[in-house]
Chains A and B, each alone.
Chain A
Amino acid sequence: MSGARGRPFLGIAPWGVFFAVFGLFPLAYAFVLSFLSLNPLRPDLVRWVGFANYERALASPSFWHALRTTAFFVVGTLPVTLTLAYGVAALLSRIRRGETFFRAAIFFPATLSMVVIALVFKSLYAEEGLLNGWLAAVGLPRVHWLQDPSLALPSIMLMDVWASVGYYAILILAARKTLPREQLEAARLEGLSPLTVERRIVLPHVRPVLLFVVLLNTIRSFQIFIEVFVLTRGGPLESTLTLVYHLYERAFYHFEMGYASALAYLLLILVGLVLLAQRRLIGRGAEAAP
């Protein structure tokens, strides 16, 4: 807020050094790589191809298909996850006793590695798995959670929402806790309804963190890979072929590292644009950095 100059570099320096080496370097390397044709198995045969990789991607039906699939995933999970997370945080802030237990329980899914979650859900979603077993027990027909091309992606989306709501709820809760209690007391004494309190006092206060959660979830949703890798490998009939999975296949199965890097940077540009748009929409009023 104050315009102090020169001093921030002291604070940023420690992290900055690590980032420069282990963050910036891979970023730059991948960027250069996107203009090359590189087979990782034959690094000696690398050659410069300029924008050819990018042109190829933009003309590739697989790329657009992957893009559509990923976009569907993001649009389908983001609002749901956000709303649920906000609601859960609101609920958690209303109780006092047992808060520790509920917090831990709700946070639990976030402590599992995505590989484990995907494996557990693999057996839940199996044709002869737990969910279908329950359906059968109540006389309902079996659902082809992962085998039906139109259900596979929604099934993964459901799993993802389950896995991430708790984490974001805790983030939002942390932000809610920085709100001085007096403000809430005063509002209550004034006779404002809980919903109004929520809208007029809490929401503006947690807005920066809320925006952060949206940005984070967006980034994460565009990046989903492990879920697809473990559960469906992009199928059935490519219905779950996300951008990162497509990228992975090109890099490690077809050994096209340059093309994969171009795909990664296209993803980067796309997500960057989405994030900017989100910040403009939601960030209004929040002291978002520049």
Chain B
Amino acid sequence: MGAKGDSGVGSARRGPGPAVAAALLLALVLAAGGCGKGESGRRTVVFWQFSPLAAIEPILARFEVENPDLDVQVEQLTWQSGREKIVAAIAAGRPPDLCELGSTFLPGLVADSTLRDLTDQVADLRSALVGWDVSSYRGRAYAIPWMLGTRALYVNDDLMRRAGLDPSKPPATWDELLRAARAITEKGHGAKGFGMSAGEREILFKKFMPFAWGNGGSILDSTLMRAAMESEANLEALRFYLSLKPYSLLERQEMHEEAFTKGRLGIIISGPWLLRKLPESAPELPFTVALMPRPAPGRGTPASFAGAEVLGVFRNSKRPEEALRLARFLTRPENTMPLFVATGNAFPAATASAADSYFVTHPKDRVFLEQLRYAVGPPLHPRWVQIEEIVNAELEEAIYGRKSAEAALASADARINAALAPAP
């Protein structure tokens, strides 16, 4: 290679260090530039929610017109990971001002006083909206109900016919459900009668408890201080539920829907979203939507699971007043209805919406409205996350045949009471 000291060769020996460093710095600076946001002089309300932006933005635009001093900064969350995002934001002290929350996420938030007590500020909305029991604890409202969801029975008419049953009379009692499931399985050429949830432990109680609730059973007693799992009503319901197993497809919810769409499953419990999917994926499939079955003619109620999307304001929200204004706007029937029509997931909580002409032209949706009247939600209890875990675990054991119905309920009772015992 030769002599040192010669400037030509020496420059080859000197490194590119400085040049590289400069390039890196430049790149980073340029990158940092790609982020400026404009200022508009209005006050900003940060709103996090789950609907597609295309659906919610027109509604927010109307809000901004009506409230020229406010600017809404909306963000769409994913169902899969919305939780992490919300938790991280709260942990960092930067929560959104208004947030859409699912009723299953709610209990943990209420327990730790993360949400503001809105009871006094929303007294006027009490009669305009339904679903306050899902967002209240001990009489105090911690969120505003926005949309309500429930599940009903979907029945495949063809499979009913093939099983020798009349499709215009979907199962209305437990007996009829069992009979239909059995008949379809036996005569359905490989199709199964009922879709039973498995492999998704976190929703098991949502699938089973409606039967218990319809029979007068419950998870906790009326004081919400002790478990009530070990009751005759619950036992009867669980025994019935397990009797469906031989005629059921044990799978996850979406696979049930997939099988139903393909005409390979006779009866499933599902929500209004399936009404949007079926015409697209299986336009020829004849099906009926019906209320959940009662325990017996004239006894009990056709109870179903009630879920809700609610609007909450966090403790350290920077603009709580403005957030409430937005919430009031959003819960108006004319603003919630378009979201329902767009996403088809949950119904407006506004009582006035029931009279909307949409439900005249969409009779199957009307069944869900009717079902909402009998829908029950889990109690908004501070220890709900643990209770839910216990109930789901015991149910799973029973479904997989590891425990008898009695043993599962007894075990659930004992464990829940232990979890509810006052903390040391």
Contacts and interface: CB of A to CB of B under 8 A. Distances in A.
Interface stretch (B135-143, B170-178, B213-221, B396-404): B396-404
A129 B83 CA distance: 30
B249 A127 contact: yes
Given A233-B201, A235-B200, A253-B108, 11 more contacts: A10-B17, A41-B87, A41-B90, A41-B91, A126-B258, A127-B249, A232-B199, A235-B396, A236-B198, A254-B385, A255-B112
Nearest to B113: A42
Interface of B: 17, 21, 24, 80, 83-84, 87-88, 90-91, 93, 108-109, 112-114, 198-202, 249-252, 255, 258-259, 262, 264, 385-386, 396-397, 400, 402
Nearest to A146: B199
B249 A128 contact: yes
Contacts of A14: 21, 24
A69 interface: no
Contacts of A237: 396-397, 400, 402
Q: Which 8 A-B pairs have the closest CB atoms?
A: A40-B91, A41-B114, A235-B201, A127-B251, A126-B255, A128-B259, A42-B112, A41-B112
A149 interface: yes
A147 interface: yes
Given A236-B199, A237-B397, A252 B87 contact: yes
Contacts of A146: 199
A234 interface: yes
B257 to A, nearest CB: 11
A257 interface: yes
Given A43-B91, A43-B93, A235-B396, A128 B199 contact: no
Interface residues of A, number: 29
Interface in A36-56: 39-43
A190 to B, nearest CB: 36
A233 B202 contact: yes
Given A14-B24, A41-B109, A127 B250 contact: yes
B200 A233 contact: yes
A49 to B, nearest CB: 13
B400 A39 contact: no
B70 to A, nearest CB: 26
Contact of B87 (A40, A152, A229): A40
* Majority secondary structure of chain B interface residues (helix, strand, loop or mixed): helix
Which of A40, A126, A152, A252 has most chain B Cβ within 10 Å?
A40
B264 A128 contact: yes
B113 A253 contact: no
A75 to B, nearest CB: 24
B375 to A, nearest CB: 24
Contact of B198 (A41, A129, A147): A147
Contacts of B199: 146-147, 152, 232-233, 235-236
Contact of A253 (B114, B250, B385): B385
B396 A236 contact: yes
Given A236-B199, A257-B91, A128 B396 contact: no
Given A41-B91, A41-B109, A128-B258, A147 B250 contact: yes
A89 B199 CA distance: 37
15 contacts: A43-B90, A43-B91, A43-B93, A127-B259, A128-B251, A128-B258, A128-B262, A147-B199, A237-B397, A237-B402, A251-B87, A252-B83, A253-B108, A254-B108, A257-B91
A284 to B, nearest CB: 36
A15 B82 CA distance: 32
B20 to A, nearest CB: 9
A10 B15 CA distance: 12
Interface string A235-276: 111000000000000011111010000000000000000000
A40 B17 CA distance: 43
B201 A234 contact: yes
Contacts of A236: 198-199, 201, 396, 400
B259 A40 contact: no
Contacts of B402: 237
Contacts of A255: 87, 108, 112
A233 B203 CA distance: 11
A14 B88 CA distance: 29
A147 B250 CA distance: 7
A223 B420 CA distance: 33
Nearest to B109: A41
Contacts of A251: 87
Nearest to A128: B259
B409 to A, nearest CB: 18
Contacts of B250: 127, 144, 147
A144 B252 CA distance: 12
A254 B390 CA distance: 13
Contacts of A126: 251-252, 255, 258
Contacts of A41: 87, 90-91, 108-109, 112, 114
